[in-house]
Amino acid sequence: MERENLLAALARAVAPSGCETEAARTILKSIAGLFDEAWTDGAGNLIVRLSSGKSRGKERLMLAAHMDEVGFMIKSIDAEGKARIALLGNLDTRVLSGRRIAMTSGVRGVVCAKPIHAQSGEERSKPTPADKLYIELGAKDRAQAETLVQIGDYGTLEPKFTPLAGGFYAGKALGGRSMCVLLCELLEKLHGMDKDKLAADELFFVFSAKREIARAQFAIETAAFTIRPDRAVLFDAAPAADFGDAPETARGASLGAGAVIAPADAGTLYDRALFAQAVSMAKARGLRYQHPASAALPGGEGKTVHKTASGIRTLSVGIPTRNLHSGAEIIQRSDYEAVLSLACALVVAP
């Protein structure tokens, strides 16, 4: 599938943490015939293996992007037919009020809050907490609502994909999903290529699950444990707040400034050699790259990947993303290109 179409299809897939089926299906469809083997592991990660066909030792390289997204689950339905929700992941409650939502079943609704005429002055200046929000489905009572949604059903903000001017894209879950597109595109590029050129004997493409709800452990750990790669490169969104008057150190990544290559983030000190290699590759190829101040670095999954089993050399590469976890994430094409070129360089032997 052409890149922009796949990006749009994945932005529109309703696949929050714990219910990634639609994203996985879309990904698998787009990479049919491009790999040796694919399976879904016990934690829900979609793993795709590509072999060089040679046994020059047993070097394994894992490339990963998470396919889940922030969303919510129906927690209760009240007598008036309103559905209350529990959030999945770091979905920003400030963006929920008044937004359209979609359930995985296709049922639509609107997130409602206290109407403006009933709000106090203080309420008007504060985001509405999740427990004061409800989903309006159009049901007149509980019985009718239960024909539309069940407790435990999964949903997300409205599926959306909008190209903006200047090579920007806006849409739901674009930061994370664009990195899934990148792995698919990488598989396509490798398909026509002489497998001797691969930088490892076996490549594993992991489309990980449940990243957004992770606390201490990430689901990707099971994939890393099974694969036991020698090296892992994680692709993820890097939060950007490159606007307003925040000091430069608090603005995170900047759109247009290229791939985010991180020496460290809050949970991981990335492998110094891999980090240095990525930086020198980017330099040698004239790729744009950036190291935003540490609070803004991507790759939460590195936290468990690098400590899996006997330890895994891990690197994280990010795409700068505005409005992260808002249902209207913004990325720039040129940054995607930079990350893709870097990924190619890491995967193909020099």
Partner 1 sequence: MFAQLKKFIYAPGVSGDEGNIASVIAADIAPYVDRVYTDAMGNLYAFKKGTGKHPKKLMFAAHMDEIGFMVSFIDEKGYLRVSKMGGINFNAAAFSEVEFQNGLRGVIVPDARTAAKDFRPEVFYVDIGAKSKKDAERRVKIGDTCRVAPKLIRLAGSRVAGRPIDDRIGCLMLFEAAKTAKVYENDVYFVFTVQEEVGVRGAKTSAFSVAPDYAVAVDIGGAGDVPNCAPFEVVLGGGIAVKLKDGMVICHKKMIEAMKSVADEENVPIQYEVLESGGTDTCMLQQAAGGCVAGALSIPTRYGHSAVEVVDMNDVAGGVRILAGLCGTRFE
Partner 2 sequence: MQTKELLAALCGKMSVVGFESYDEKALSALIDPYLDEHEYDAAGNHIFIRRCGKPEAKRLFLDAHYDEVGLMVKGITKEGYLRVCGQGGVDARILPAAEVVVYGRERLPGIVLTKPRELMTGDESGRLTPVTELLIDTGLTKEEAEKAAPIGTPVGFEPVYTELAGGFFAGKGFDNKCSAAAVILAVSQLEMSALECDLYVSLSAREEVGHRAVSTAAFRIRPDAALVLDVTFGYAPEGKKPGDSEMQGGPAVSISAILDKALTDFVVETAEIEKIPVQTVVEATGTGTHADELVYAAGGIPTALIGIPIWFMHTANEILNLEDVEHTARLIAAVIRRRYGRGVDGKE
Residue-by-residue DSSP string for 129-184: PGGG-EEE-S-SSHHHHHTT--TT-EEEEPP-EEE-GGGEEEETTHHHHHHHHHHH
> Which listed option, partner 2, partner 1, none, makes contact with residue 291 (CB within 5 to 8 Å by class)?
partner 1
Q: Counting beta carbons within 10 angstroms of the beta carbon of residue 146, is it exposed (0 to 12), middle (13 to 18) or buried (19 or more)?
A: middle
Residues at the site binding partner 1, with contacts judged by CB under 8 A: 230, 248-250, 263-264, 267, 269-272, 275-276, 291-294, 306-313
DSSP 195: G
Cβ proximity to partner 2: between 53 and 98 the closer is 98
Binder among 2, 57, 106, 118 for partner 2 (CB under 8 A): 118
> Which listed option, partner 2, partner 1, none, makes contact with residue 162 (CB within 5 to 8 Å by class)?
partner 2
DSSP 94: G
CB atoms within 10 A of CB 252: 23
Cβ proximity to partner 2: between 100 and 197 the closer is 100
Q: Which window, 36-44, 48-56, 59-67, 109-117, contacts partner 2 (CB under 8 A)? A: 109-117
196 belongs to the binding site for partner 2 (CB under 8 A): no
Residues 221 to 250: which contact partner 2 by CB under 8 A?
Answer: 239-244, 246, 250
Cβ proximity to partner 1: between 192 and 247 the closer is 247
Q: Counting beta carbons within 10 angstroms of the beta carbon of residue 23, is it exposed (0 to 12), middle (13 to 18) or buried (19 or more)?
A: buried
Residues 126 to 145: which contact partner 2 by CB under 8 A?
Answer: 126-128, 132-134, 136-140, 144
> Which listed option, partner 1, partner 2, none, makes contact with residue 90 (CB within 5 to 8 Å by class)?
partner 2
> Which listed option, partner 2, partner 1, none, makes contact with residue 120 (CB within 5 to 8 Å by class)?
none
121 belongs to the binding site for partner 2 (CB under 8 A): no
Binder among 231, 258, 325, 338 for partner 2 (CB under 8 A): 325
Q: Which residues pair with 101 in a beta bridge?
A: 109, 157
Cβ proximity to partner 2: between 144 and 217 the closer is 144
Residues 32, 186, 282: CA angle, nearest 5 degrees? 175
> Which listed option, partner 1, partner 2, none, makes contact with residue 310 (CB within 5 to 8 Å by class)?
partner 1
Residues 256, 259, 260: CA angle, nearest 5 degrees? 110
x/- mask, partner 2, residues 66-105, rule CB under 8 A, reads ------------x-x-x-------x-x-xx-xxxx-----
User: Contact at 8 Å (CB) between 155 and 317?
Assistant: no
187, containing H or E segment: helix 174-191
- Site residues (vs partner 2, CB under 8 A): 78, 80, 82, 90, 92, 94-95, 97-100, 107-110, 112-119, 124-128, 132-134, 136-140, 144, 148, 160, 162-168, 170, 239-244, 246, 250-252, 295-296, 322-328, 330
